[in-house]
């Protein structure tokens, strides 16, 4: 279906997450961000290894591509939303952790996942348009859409870039984690 080596990128992400978890296992912020990305990568790996076929001789391309790109779109979007809501969820679920704070990396990782979601959405849309003849649409217009590969031709490069950015920001959390929020609070003035 496509040449994007999803297995390599899943392994690279899983390895990055495991390394970060090994060295920063006592930091709730790093652990929560890394656990979300690790869960996403593990679900992706097992789903495409054992549950979802990437190639099929019986399933039409419109359905196969829609399933593959749709699952990835949902997976990336959910992980992005969970990352954006991470602080609220941790404070709600785990009251005893006082060190929950924003990090430099989480917004950028969420941005990378958001861009990956957009890419998967565009791939999904292009797949439906390119294979519209399988849905019964006829005519010269729909026949010409079978040659539509604008996103498909750029997919591999963009997918690798977004996943590499995610891994790079994960690894960057080994060095810099929390944002110094004390500078964001205005000092209290005393009226003496």
> Taking all residues of the chain, what is their mean pLDDT, rounded to a whole number?
85
- Within 8 A by CB and 6+ apart from 52, the residues are 67, 68, 71
Q: Measure the CA angle with vertex 68, ends 171 and 141; round to 5°.
A: 125
The number of C-alpha atoms within 13 Å of 26 and in the hemisphere containing its C-beta is 1
pLDDT tens figures, 27-80:
888 999 999 999 999 999 999 888 988 888 888 888 999 999 999 999 999 999
pLDDT tens digits, 130-182: 888 888 888 888 778 888 888 888 888 999 999 999 999 999 988 876 665 55
Residue 4 and residue 94: Cα distance in Å, rounded?
38
Model confidence band, residue 1 (pLDDT cutoffs 50, 70, 90)? very low
**Residues 9-32 pLDDT 10s:** 888 888 888 989 999 888 888 999
User: pTM (2 decimals)?
Assistant: 0.84
Residues 6+ apart with CB under 8 A from 23: 174
Q: What is the pLDDT of residues 78-120, one digit of tens each?
A: 999 999 999 899 888 877 777 788 888 889 999 999 999 999 9
What does the DSSP assignment read for 92-119?
HH-TT------BHHHHHHHHHHHHHHHH
**DSSP state, residue 178:** B
CA–CA separation, 26 and 2 (whole Å) = 40
């Amino acid at each position: 279906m496509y040449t994007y080596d999803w297995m390599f990128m899943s392994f690279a992400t899983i390895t990055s997450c495991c390394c970060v978890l090994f060295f920063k296992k006592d930091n709730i912020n790093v652990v929560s961000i890394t656990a979300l990305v690790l869960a996403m990568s593990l679900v992706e790996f097992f789903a495409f290894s054992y549950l979802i076929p990437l190639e099929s001789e019986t399933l039409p391309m419109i359905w196969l591509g829609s399933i593959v790109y749709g699952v990835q779109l949902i997976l990336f979007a959910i992980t992005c939303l969970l990352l954006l809501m991470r602080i609220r969820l941790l404070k709600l679920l785990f009251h005893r952790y006082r060190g929950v704070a924003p990090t430099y990396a989480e917004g950028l990782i969420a941005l990378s996942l958001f861009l990956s979601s957009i890419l998967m959405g565009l791939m999904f849309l292009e797949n439906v348009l390119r294979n519209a003849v399988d849905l019964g649409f006829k005519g010269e217009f729909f026949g010409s859409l079978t040659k539509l590969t604008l996103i498909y031709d750029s997919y591999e490069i963009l997918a690798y870039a977004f996943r590499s950015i995610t891994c790079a920001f994960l690894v960057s959390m080994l060095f810099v984690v929390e944002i110094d929020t004390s500078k964001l609070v205005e000092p209290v003035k005393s009226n003496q």
